[in-house]
Structure 1
Amino acid sequence: MGDGLADAQDGYKLTSMTTELPAGKDTAYKFQIMGPDGKPVTAFAADQTKKMHFYAIRSDLAGFQHLHPTMAGDGSWTAGLSSLEPGTWRTYASFIPDSGEGKGKDLVLSRTVTVPGEAKKTPLPEAASSTEVDGYTVTVKGVLMAGMAHPTTVSISKDGKPVTDLQPYLDTYAHLTAFHEGDQAFAHLHPETETKDGNGGPDPAFQALLPKPGSWRMFLQFRTGGKLHTAALT
């Protein structure tokens, strides 16, 4: 998959006319994936139920967004971004071609965009094994080592009790991505827990592979009661 920091890999290229996006309001980011034949790619395989996963994160690893854009017939995609704070943002396209030379290959490509205005850098929070979001406590359990895959679980509790009403989200009970401090290298931590009939929890399992040492900002997304929650921890 690579670290997601290049706009081209294996003959595939992420292209966009957009280099600047407005601050403080919802906006659309349009892009295409060009194939090795120089033509827009229009055939994509579903990955966790979606043919395109699109991420946006600011250079200080604040302001995370994870979207599933729509594709037009000509292979152009539109991602509807929520309000962005000023600064430099990196946008990532994660996809699997379903035809051509790269069929079946996991690819992540990215570009940067500028959001004009006074950028106020948010210091990266200290490393911690747990955090809270929307009244839920999220705890990461497992040994993370650079360049080696390790089993990791994320325990979710509320009011001191294990949460067992996690609703399916993207064909699993939780979705986990991570970004490296400094260069914004990307890592998708693959879920190991399959959804069954009904709800799940409280310990979704992942295969964690962080390609380089340093500080990583993790974003865990899970759904309860029809609402999507996003927890972040370093």
Structure 2
Amino acid sequence: MADRPDNRGMIRRFWDWFWGPTAVLSVGFTLIAGFLAGIFFWGGFHWSVELTNTEEFCVSCHTMETNLGEYRETIHYNNHSGVRAICSDCHVPHEWSHKIKAKIMAVKDVYHEMVGTINTPEKYEEHRLQMASAVWRKMKASDSRECRNCHNFDYMDFTLQEVRAASEHQRAIDSDMTCIDCHQGIAHRLPPSYLEEYEKVLEALSMTPSSRRLAAADHEATQFYLRSRSE
């Protein structure tokens, strides 16, 4: 009890020293040092974030082996142009605020890796539809934001595309559809009953006021396309 006044006095002296004018270093030196420290901190933070965007980091978890095998069989991994889209290109936004939000949300993936939610092929298949649905919902709500980092209707030359692809892309433009409406299985194997699940995604988003503009406007066109795929 007797040492409390001394402790308070020590804290008070430290506080005064911390905020008081420096007696040894000039104000200019202090400002420059703080500025340089900020640069190093920001550089280190940015480097850490970008490190988590690498393919090596994404597939370093045991549970990602199934994803990796499927991805390596797709056109995003191996194609005539040699241009590849890695995990972060499709799952991490480029815009800073959306990127940081995605990184924070990814903490749940670390948790599920630790508890072994999908650490066997059987568990992975059991959760495949649930995981796919979560990604579809996110991409539908964002108007396929990550797809549009590389693909843009404005710069597509339909004369160089196959007839069916050109026709579908033109219909997507006319009907205000978005990429994920047709390309659910572009990088990973589709789960059973995926069409029915995507129908549920559309219905859920059309009932959400913030997403109604994106989901409801093209709902009828998307439903027609999904029905044509199931026939």
TM-score range, shorter chain: under 0.3
Select the structure of larger CA radius of gyration: 2
**TM-score, length-scaled by structure 2:** 0.20
In terms of fraction of residues, the more strand-rich structure is 1
